[in-house]
Amino acid sequence: MPLPKKTTLTKKPAAKKTTKKVVKEEVDVEMKLFTCKACNKKFPDTGLYFYGKKSEKCMWCTKFPKSKK
């Protein structure tokens, strides 16, 4: 009885991925300061920097407001 022929799979070379690097120009924008209404300390205005809205309270006073008695 003859032996079956071995089939060999020919592998195709992997397709090259073409990725374009997008280089954005860095813009130097000065971080403005604001005074928190609750604790009266100065902080960088991240709300204005990222969202275009002026901040009123710092992150700490927003997260943990003073309870009213």
pLDDT, tens only, 8-58: 667 777 767 767 777 677 667 788 999 999 999 999 999 998 899 999 999
Q: First CA to last CA across the chain, in angstroms?
A: 97
Domain boundaries, the chain: 33-63
Say if pTM beats, i.e. exceeds, 0.85: no
Apex 26 CA angle, 23 and 27, nearest 5: 145
